[in-house]
């Protein structure tokens, strides 16, 4: 399949997927599903491009494996979280309803389509890998794969530690200060950023991969300034009060770092809100 045909087909299909997701979310009156659709969507689009590129080498296979594993793990984790809190809606989307009061349906439609555009932009490193005529493996792929694997493992451990903590029935006012969460208030976000840096390094082994620097930059910006840390922190302070304020004062927000002081064992678990 011609590379530009595959690009247009994949992009158009993704816009359609998010339109259908919006229709479903509108029908059930809960827009939280967009998080899981986003994670699955990046994987679906990247794998589509890799599968229909001109030729298929070890470089494309490696990219497909790491992308597919990341997408399935994160998408499955997010959909489990969404199902667990259903029919409640994520606090971020409740806040958006208030902002878009009176025009929620149309505003959320364009919000979902904006997510589709973000999926297309973020999957571009894998399009560059798919269309690269050089199928050989290089140091770029080795380093990128190692970094991405580190991120996937770290994010998986962070999510598992938070899920295990919540399974104890500690209550919504508890703050998790154990495991990776002792060193970062958002280790899941940190390792998500590491994953995308790894994806970019991997793509640099392809002719035009270096042009996709926007992908890790977008992810890091969203995590630090938009849909990641800011709304999660606001919601956590609202639910947990002084316990979370202490956690903020002693624990790094993003990069894992030794805490300024040990947190009392009765201050336990930050609400994990993956993006």
Distance CA 137, CA 198 (A): 15
In the chain, alpha helices (H): 3-28, 34-51, 58-85, 91-99, 104-131, 139-166, 187-203, 214-225, 229-240, 242-250
Residue 149 Cα distances to 46, 155, 230, angstroms: 17, 10, 27
Q: What is the mean pLDDT of each run of 10 residues along the chain (275 residues)?
A: 88 97 94 94 96 80 96 94 80 85 93 96 96 91 98 96 89 90 97 98 96 97 92 89 94 95 48 41
pLDDT at residue 267 in the model: 44
pLDDT at residue 98 in the model: 87
pLDDT at residue 54 in the model: 65
Residue 37 Cα distances to 15, 42, 75, 165, 205, angstroms: 12, 9, 7, 26, 29
For the chain, the distance separating the N- and C-terminal CA atoms, rounded to the nearest angstrom, is 34
Distance CA 195, CA 67 (A): 10
**Which of 70, 68, 274, 266 minimizes the C-alpha distance to 159?**
274
């Amino acid at each position: 399949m011609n590379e530009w045909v595959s690009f247009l087909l994949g992009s158009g299909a993704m816009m359609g997927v998010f339109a259908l997701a919006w229709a479903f979310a509108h029908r059930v009156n809960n827009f939280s599903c967009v998080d899981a659709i986003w994670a699955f969507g990046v994987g679906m689009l990247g794998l589509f491009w890799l599968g229909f590129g001109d030729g298929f080498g070890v470089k494309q296979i490696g990219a497909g494996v790491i992308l597919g594993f990341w997408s399935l793990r994160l998408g499955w984790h997010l959909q489990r979280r969404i199902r667990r809190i259903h029919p409640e809606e994520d606090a971020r989307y409740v806040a958006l309803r208030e902002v878009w009061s009176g025009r929620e349906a149309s505003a959320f439609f364009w919000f979902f389509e904006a997510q589709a555009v973000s999926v297309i932009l973020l999957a571009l490193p894998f399009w560059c890998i798919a269309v690269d005529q050089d199928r050989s493996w290089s140091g770029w792929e080795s380093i990128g794969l190692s970094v991405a694997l580190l991120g996937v493992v770290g994010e998986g451990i962070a999510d598992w530690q938070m899920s295990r903590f919540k399974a104890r029935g500690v209550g919504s006012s508890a703050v998790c200060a154990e495991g990776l969460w002792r060193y970062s208030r958002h280790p899941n976000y940190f390792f998500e950023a590491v994953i995308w840096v790894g994806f970019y390094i991997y793509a640099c082994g392809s002719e035009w991969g270096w042009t996709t620097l926007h992908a890790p930059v977008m992810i890091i910006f969203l995590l630090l300034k938009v849909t990641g840390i800011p709304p999660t922190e606001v919601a956590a302070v609202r639910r947990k009060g002084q316990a979370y304020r202490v956690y903020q004062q002693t624990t790094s927000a993003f990069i894992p770092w030794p805490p300024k002081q040990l947190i009392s064992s009765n201050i336990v678990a930050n609400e994990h809100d993956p993006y």
